[in-house]
Chain A
Amino acid sequence: MPRTHSPIPIRFPVLRGNEPAVVTLDFAGHEDVIATTHWQVPRSLKRDAATRTRAADAREFALFAAKRWRHYRDSGIAARSLPELRRMISSDPQGEYCFHLKLTAPWFPHSLGGAMVRRTWCHHLIVDFLFVHPRICGKIEPVKGTGVGILHGICLIARTLRCKRVWGEATRDSASFYERQLGRAIEDSFTLDVSEIAFFADQIEKESRRA
């Protein structure tokens, strides 16, 4: 792999209420992934169907991601760090590998969110799942910037590995997020090319200097 410097973990600011607060994005290990399976939908959301659904979705996606993690880990193709991912790619450039990311902060007892990403045989990254803690998407914790931050972090990894593309599926619920983020119409898939990857990677690096 061309670059030897590891930009991950990376610290950057998000908004906690109306205050900037620093979070750290890093590769997740087995314990981190399993910890997300213990997330609960807050009881206080019982009467608010919309936010309860969001929180339940986040919990469900974390469970899906953990299930995938077990499969990839048992197959020996789950990377727990960027150097490990690079080693795997070096040993078999056309192999398919998986990694999970976690977003943590000293002021939040659990991880704030995570993502499951795959590196394909042709050296692209696929965002399979991205989710934030049910208390955050349930609006109990007023934290803003976790979803965007994780997506930018994935671009940072893509740029470091010199991946030409980051792509994923846009659902009816997520298409408007990608449209807003990318500034163009999105149907049921999204693709970030090299210039967009570089732009978002630069952005998170720039923000990390403020952390």
Chain B
Amino acid sequence: MSKNTSAPKMTKAELVAHLNKLFAAEEYFTGVLGNRHHFTLAKPSRRKRVPGGRTARQRAKTSG
């Protein structure tokens, strides 16, 4: 692996070809990396919303 950090001038067409080559692995990228089955994770919590209504937490705050 080379350590050359210079960026030679390129035409737009050359840059597009270069980026296509650089991003070749992206063809295999499904959009996410990681594991949803990680043992410390639970499903994201979703509060049930009632249209125009209040959440259970809001009701608890104002009740009693």
- Residues in A lying within 8 Å of B, measured CB to CB: 13-15, 18-20, 54-55, 57-58, 60-61, 63-64, 66-68, 115-116, 127-132, 134, 136-138, 144-148, 151, 168-169, 171, 173-174, 176-177, 179-181, 195-196, 198-199, 202-203, 205-207, 209-210
Assess whether A169 is in contact with B34, with CB atoms less than 8 Å apart.
yes
Q: How large is the interface on B (under 10, 10 to 19, 20 to 34, 35 or more residues)?
A: 20 to 34
B6 on the A face (CB < 8 A): yes
Contacts of A55 in B (CB 8 A): 31
B58 on the A face (CB < 8 A): no
Min distance, Cβ A177 to any Cβ of chain B, angstroms: 4
Contacts of B60 in A (CB 8 A): none
Give A138 to B6 CA distance when docked, in angstroms: 34
A interface secondary structure, majority: helix
- Complex partner residue of A206 from B7, B26, B36, B44, CB under 8 angstroms: B7
16 A-B Cβ contacts within 8 A?
A: A13-B19, A15-B23, A18-B16, A63-B44, A64-B38, A145-B23, A145-B26, A147-B26, A147-B29, A168-B33, A169-B35, A174-B29, A174-B34, A176-B28, A177-B28, A199-B2
Min distance, Cβ B31 to any Cβ of chain A, angstroms: 3
Contacts of B12 in A (CB 8 A): 20
Interface residues of B in 17-54 (CB under 8 A from A): 19-20, 22-36, 38, 41-42, 44-45
B15 on the A face (CB < 8 A): yes
Give A207 to B18 CA distance when docked, in angstroms: 10
Contacts of B34 in A (CB 8 A): 61, 64, 116, 127-131, 168-169, 171, 174
Give A202 to B7 CA distance when docked, in angstroms: 11
Give A100 to B58 CA distance when docked, in angstroms: 30
Q: Given contacts A15-B16, A64-B41, are A148 and B26 in contact (CB under 8 A)?
A: yes
Contacts of B20 in A (CB 8 A): 15, 144
Give A211 to B2 CA distance when docked, in angstroms: 21
Min distance, Cβ B22 to any Cβ of chain A, angstroms: 7
Assess whether A144 is in contact with B33, with CB atoms less than 8 Å apart.
no
Give A57 to B3 CA distance when docked, in angstroms: 36
